Amino acid sequence: MFEFDHPTVLFYNSLSRRLDATTWNEPIRVDYGERLIHLLSTICPERILNAKETQASTWVYVVGDISYFSILLFLLGILNECYSGSYKSSLLFSWLSSQKIRRETVLMADNEDDDSQQRVNEGDYVVLKRGDIYKAVQIQKKKKTVFEKQWFFLDNAVGELYGTTFEVVSGGTLQPRKPKHVEHAADAKEAGTDNRHILDDGKSQKLTRDDIETLKEQGLKGQEIVQQLIENSTTFRDKTEFAQEKYIKKKKKKYENSVMVLRPSCRILAMMYHGREPGKICHLRYDTLAQMLTLGNIHAGSKVLVFETCAGLVLGAVMERMGGYGSVVQMYPGGGPVRAGVESFGFPPHFNDTLHEFPIQHVNALLAGTLDTDAKDIDADGLQANGEKSDPTSPKKAENKKESPDAEDQNMETNSSENSAAEKEAQEREKRREIRGQEKKVRMEEKRKKLAAAAVLLQGRNADGLVIASRFHPCPVLLGLIKFLAPSRPFVVYSQYKEPLIECYTKLREQGGAVSLRLTDSWIRHYQVLPNRTHPVLLMSGGGGYLLSGTTVTTDTPKVNTEPTSVEEPAAKRVKLEEETE
């Protein structure tokens, strides 16, 4: 039942030295089959320091105490036995069930098809690609998708591998294009040397608009239409080889109805948003986002604060880099955090456990220590700030108003049946209101718990990173949120405009608590690289916004001045200041 490719078990410490069983309190590396990773990650995800695949085997680094490893060794020993004889597999199952591990999970890990994770499932968030155009969609059966002036259903994508190119055929169905696209009309290698005899008389194409439409209606594939266009072009043969290639490329782009289904990633989504909806992400260009993630030292295991109004793209990018390790606190303005972009990343559900949220309107209270997360009215506060306070109360009032005249009417009338009907209605209304009230209470309770959890994370003021990218003035945001950072941690602020960042820079300099302040922007140029036709791409992006980055340090305490060394300090300090303001 259990078959492992690599039955040998080896223990290593972090320096790749082989260990004896007696020194197990060191990190241990286990050389074993790939499936062991799945097994171990279901049993003890928190114990796995590192797991990786090499060409011959899989290595698992684990941390823990001796008693834990005696169990682990026991498990490994059984697995080893299982390899030769399956009778002991029942032992393994009893052990696993004693560990409250679901048998199905283990079986799944065992029988896993190598490609199963590479296939598109219903409900997956994917990205469609055609040329340089991307669109993020969720795979839903029988749902019409419009992309690049084409409509189709994504039903056929389910079960196919990520990266498959589909042909859109009539009726909006997708057909996987299996064979590698054969190079275009390379047969007729006739070409001119220059364009001295090519006249633009507008008659070089013998097919008319109507002819082309007819071809399309006949259900001809894009490739075939392009071939028809080439054959019916009188000047095609006179064009230079390069011009021919360009012509084909242009026509292909217009007539070929192919679409590629990709797995979402920060790269693809950042390029997609920048291409499709730059306004939604404050014109944050992908290379600038890349700088932010690097300058912010975003990595697994840290605690990062994010304030963004970029549709969730920046938050998603941070979460991707954290890989589900550590925690992210999203500081949000208004009624709730915006996370549309995060959804498009299609993160596994456990990533949500690392994501927290905190309304920015409670920051001052939290800093002052007056935030009471147990208070019942905390939610009302939040609603008030968002102008939603009227929402829960006004319908109630309206209902009351409506009810009372009704009641009066009923009293005046003597018809008892009508009266009871109205009574019933009133009861139902009451019930509905109660249910709604209950739901609201639950929601409020959840919200309060979330707030309390985020407050706990923030209270230590020991966050490891701060990323700001919003349409708000960055200065108050930065000065407010930087207080939650531990010393010696990076922060990075994005703004579409430079001037607000100049203000941030000046204020931070005055206030202290930060070094290595840098105001930068980056510039990206794409190149066309083709034999004898290499040059920068003609059109380039004019601006991708600006960044202010720096590192926090401890702020000066008056105590320093009382130290004996302070006598000499002024002189040195002056020197220093001159240098810093340089």
Partner 1 sequence: MSFVEYSEFIQEGDVAIIFLGHDSMMPIKVQQGAQTQTRYGVIRHSKDLIGQRFGTKVTCSKGGWVYVLHPTPELWTLNLPHRTQILYTTDIANITMMLELKPGSVVCESGTGSGSLSHAILRTIAPTGHLHTVEFHQQRAEKAAEEFREHRVGHLVTVRNQDVCKEGFGVTGVADAVFLDIPSPWEAIQHAKSAMKKQGGRVCSFSPCIEQVQKTCEALAGQGFEEISTVEVLLRVHEVRSITLPLPDFGPDKPLETPTDTRIPSNASVLCKTTTPPREMAGHTGYLTFATKPRM
Among 7, 172, 176, 324, binds partner 1 (CB under 8 A): 324
- 3-state DSSP of 97-114: HHCCCCHHHHHHHHHCCC
Cβ-proximal residues to 106 (8 Å cutoff; 6+ apart), any chain: 39, 42, 93, 96
SS3 call for 173: strand
Contact between residue 504 and residue 533 where contact means Cβ atoms under 8 Å apart: no
Scanning residues 215 to 274, which ones bind partner 1 (CB under 8 A)?
Answer: 265-267, 270
Among 151, 320, 474, 494, binds partner 1 (CB under 8 A): 320
Binding mask 104-133 for partner 1 (x = CB under 8 A): ----------xx--x---------------
Span interacting with partner 1, options 218-226, 315-323, 372-380, 422-430, rule CB under 8 A? 315-323
By the rule CB under 8 A, 498 interacts with partner 1: yes
SS3 call for 192: strand
Of 323, 266, 222, which Cα lies nearest the Cα of 127? 266
By the rule CB under 8 A, 562 interacts with partner 1: no
CB of 96 to partner 1, least distance (A): 23
Pairwise CA distance, residues 466 & 307, whole Å:
8
By the rule CB under 8 A, 556 interacts with partner 1: yes
Pairwise CA distance, residues 436 & 487, whole Å:
46
CB of 220 to partner 1, least distance (A): 26
Pairwise CA distance, residues 504 & 514, whole Å:
11
SS3 call for 133: strand
Q: Which amino acid is at 200?
A: D
By the rule CB under 8 A, 98 interacts with partner 1: no
Span interacting with partner 1, options 9-17, 212-220, 234-242, 399-407, rule CB under 8 A? 9-17
Among 235, 330, 495, 552, binds partner 1 (CB under 8 A): 552
CB of 122 to partner 1, least distance (A): 20
CB of 253 to partner 1, least distance (A): 15
Pairwise CA distance, residues 429 & 398, whole Å:
13
Q: Tell me whether residue 63 or residue 212 sits nearer to partner 1 (CB atom).
A: 63
Structure tokens belonging to residue 52: 């990786």
CB of 560 to partner 1, least distance (A): 7
Binding mask 145-184 for partner 1 (x = CB under 8 A): ----------------xxx----------------x----
H or E element that contains 77? helix 66-84
Q: How many residues are listed for the chain in this entry? A: 582
Among 18, 20, 22, 54, binds partner 1 (CB under 8 A): 54
Scanning residues 514 to 533, which ones bind partner 1 (CB under 8 A)?
Answer: 515-516, 518-527, 529, 531
SS3 call for 138: strand
DSSP E strands, 380-487 = 465-469
By the rule CB under 8 A, 135 interacts with partner 1: no
Q: Tell me whether residue 140 or residue 541 sits nearer to partner 1 (CB atom).
A: 541
Pairwise CA distance, residues 436 & 391, whole Å:
13
Scanning residues 436 to 495, which ones bind partner 1 (CB under 8 A)?
Answer: 462, 464, 486-490
Among 19, 191, 243, 290, binds partner 1 (CB under 8 A): 290
**How many residues bind partner 1, per CB under 8 A?**
93
Span interacting with partner 1, options 95-103, 187-195, 292-300, 466-474, rule CB under 8 A? 292-300
Residue 154, class by beta-carbon neighbours within 10 Å (0-12 exposed, 13-18 middle, 19+ buried)?
A: buried
Range list of H helices, 281-346:
286-295, 313-322, 340-345
Pairwise CA distance, residues 344 & 136, whole Å:
6
Among 140, 240, 386, 551, binds partner 1 (CB under 8 A): 551
Pairwise CA distance, residues 250 & 26, whole Å:
61
Structure letter (DSSP) for residue 513 = S
Q: Tell me whether residue 538 or residue 567 sits nearer to partner 1 (CB atom).
A: 567
CB of 118 to partner 1, least distance (A): 5
Span interacting with partner 1, options 83-91, 136-144, 381-389, 552-560, rule CB under 8 A? 552-560
Contact between residue 2 and residue 110 where contact means Cβ atoms under 8 Å apart: yes
Contact between residue 322 and residue 302 where contact means Cβ atoms under 8 Å apart: yes
The DSSP bridge pattern shows strands 150-153 and 144-147 to be: antiparallel
Q: Tell me whether residue 162 or residue 236 sits nearer to partner 1 (CB atom).
A: 162
CB of 77 to partner 1, least distance (A): 24
CB of 301 to partner 1, least distance (A): 6
By the rule CB under 8 A, 335 interacts with partner 1: no
CB of 508 to partner 1, least distance (A): 10
CA 553, 555, 560, 561 torsion-angle sign = positive
CA 115 to each of CA 111, 147, 160: distance values in angstroms, whole numbers, following the listed order:
12, 27, 10
In which residue are the tokens 């608009």 written?
Answer: 209
Scanning residues 180 to 199, which ones bind partner 1 (CB under 8 A)?
Answer: 180
Binding mask 389-428 for partner 1 (x = CB under 8 A): ----------------------------------------
Name the CA radius of gyration of the chain, rounded: 32
Among 70, 90, 111, 294, binds partner 1 (CB under 8 A): 294
Q: Tell me whether residue 232 or residue 541 sits nearer to partner 1 (CB atom).
A: 541
Scanning residues 10 to 39, which ones bind partner 1 (CB under 8 A)?
Answer: 14-16, 27, 29
User: How far is C-alpha 120 from the chain's CA centre?
Assistant: 18
By the rule CB under 8 A, 385 interacts with partner 1: no
Strand partners, 260: 129, 165
Q: Tell me whether residue 114 or residue 201 sits nearer to partner 1 (CB atom).
A: 114
